[in-house]
Homo-oligomer: A and B are copies of this chain.
Amino acid sequence: MAIIILGTMAFDAIETPFGKTEKVIGGSATYAAYAASHLTHPLQQISIVGEDFPIQELTDLKNRGVQLDGVEIVNGKKSFFWSGKYHLDMNARDTLVTDLNVLADFNPKVPDSYQDADYLMLGNVMPSLQLSVIHQLKKRPKLVVMDTMNYWMETAMDDLKKVLKKVDVLMINDSEARQLSGDYSLVKSAKSILEMGPSYLVIKKGEHGALLFDKDSVFFAPALPLEDVFDPTGAGDTFAGGFIGHLAQTGDISFESMKTAIIYGSALASFCVEKFGPLMLKEIDNRDIQNRLDKFVQLVNFDLKF
């Protein structure tokens, strides 16, 4: 079933303790689309790029079932660019450069051809843009998943709270959950945040895995222990793409199904971090994904005899 993916398509320049790269393809919607494309189609992208964004990348996405009617290409301008440097603990990073470029004028338009989508992934962009996309949809999707970040909590909290009231799943990292709720305990954070609107909360903890909460239950999925985390950029967006991709693929949006969706998201994210940019997501096939899912089963499976 169709998934609308709202987010950035951009360039990143990244430095990690294991290497450094010049401009590579990045952006939340790019990663999410490559991840979800392994599981379902069509994907209906809403984004904005400059004239410098490679045609080859757009073609690659199209060939993977990603519709680009909602991607505005602005001539004479450049794509969004982000540069950052990761610490040895890659859950922490410093932003070196943020060039908004075309993103400063982003005014997402939902094409008519997207109006029937059952799934909506609101990638991390300004909350008012997320809200605009929700309002443009004539039929409410079956499931709306939202990503956001601390920056919007500091600069656009009112809009962010409006979006929260309209989504089913919020997906943020642990420090963002603490900031949004004002609670240090993630269990308490989850309780407060679920009262702000969403029925489900996913807290991403990077190499420490992810938690899924609803009002009554909690589920935990570890990250796969890897020899090298080469570049964590895009891992959260890849996780989101795998998560919503699995839900759309099965059509099952129960808590049980979301647990499995988190394992899919984690498996795809574990590939993402192995190379700079979304390269690995383009290289892997279904068998690679199944093998990695098996590793998750082995990783957490235990036998309790009472």
A residues apposed to B, CB below 8 Å = 17, 88, 184-188, 205, 208-209, 211, 217-222, 225-229, 256, 259-260, 262-263, 290, 293, 296-306
Contact = CB atoms under 8 A, between A and B. Distances in A.
A226 B220 CA distance: 13
Nearest to A213: B225
A67 B304 CA distance: 29
A304 B263 CA distance: 9
Task: Give the number of copies in the complex.
Answer: 2
Contacts of A262: 302
A98 to B, nearest CB: 27
A259 B300 CA distance: 9
A178 to B, nearest CB: 9
A223 to B, nearest CB: 9
A260 B301 CA distance: 9
Contact of A300 (B187, B205, B260, B300): B300
B225 A299 contact: no
Contact of A211 (B217, B225, B263): B225
Nearest to A300: B300
9 contacts: A187-B227, A188-B228, A209-B222, A219-B298, A222-B222, A259-B301, A260-B303, A260-B304, A290-B306
B222 A220 contact: yes
A228 B186 CA distance: 9
A227 B188 CA distance: 6
Among A205, A209, A222, A302, the one with the most B-chain Cβ atoms within 10 Å of its Cβ is: A302
A216 to B, nearest CB: 11
Given A208-B205, A225-B218, A290-B306, A88 B188 contact: no
B299 A259 contact: no
